């Protein structure tokens, strides 16, 4: 079981998130696809996500988060910090949002400054 290390306040929020998987394993059929998931909670620097794929801890992914309320969409870069198996082919993954040149990192952080 993972240890809670986030220092920022969390918002319990279920939103659609798409994780771009470029290379998943030794089988080419597992590469180059978008994994549709749901956030469980969000904060300035992290996300807890419900996934149906065993992500590798320390992997870095492109994340697209689409907020249905308000129509906001963010392109972020996230590093998997932990993974908990919660059922058959079901996991909770913790992502740390990392600053990247092409991402909406600043806009994401500004959303929490209100």
Question: What would the pLDDT profile of 18-32 be if each residue is shown by its tens digit?
Answer: 888 765 554 555 556
Residue 82, token pair as written in the block: 């932990």
Q: How many angstroms separate the CA atoms of 58 and 72, rounded? A: 27
Check residue 10 and report its DSSP letter.
P
Residue 16: which pLDDT band, with cuts at 50, 70 and 90?
Answer: confident
Q: Is pTM, for the whole model, over 0.95? A: no
Domains defined for the chain, CATH in brackets: 11-111 (2.40.10.220)
């Amino acid at each position: 079981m993972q240890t809670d290390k986030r220092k920022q306040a969390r918002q319990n929020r279920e939103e659609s998130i798409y994780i771009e998987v470029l290379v998943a394993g030794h089988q080419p059929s597992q590469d180059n696809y978008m994994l549709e998931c749901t956030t469980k909670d969000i904060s300035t620097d992290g996300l807890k996500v419900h996934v149906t794929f065993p992500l590798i801890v320390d992997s870095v992914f492109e994340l697209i988060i689409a907020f249905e309320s308000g129509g906001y969409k963010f392109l972020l870069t996230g590093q998997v910090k932990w993974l908990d198996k919660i059922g058959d082919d079901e996991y909770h993954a913790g992502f740390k949002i990392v600053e990247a040149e092409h991402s909406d990192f600043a806009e994401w952080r500004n959303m929490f400054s209100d």
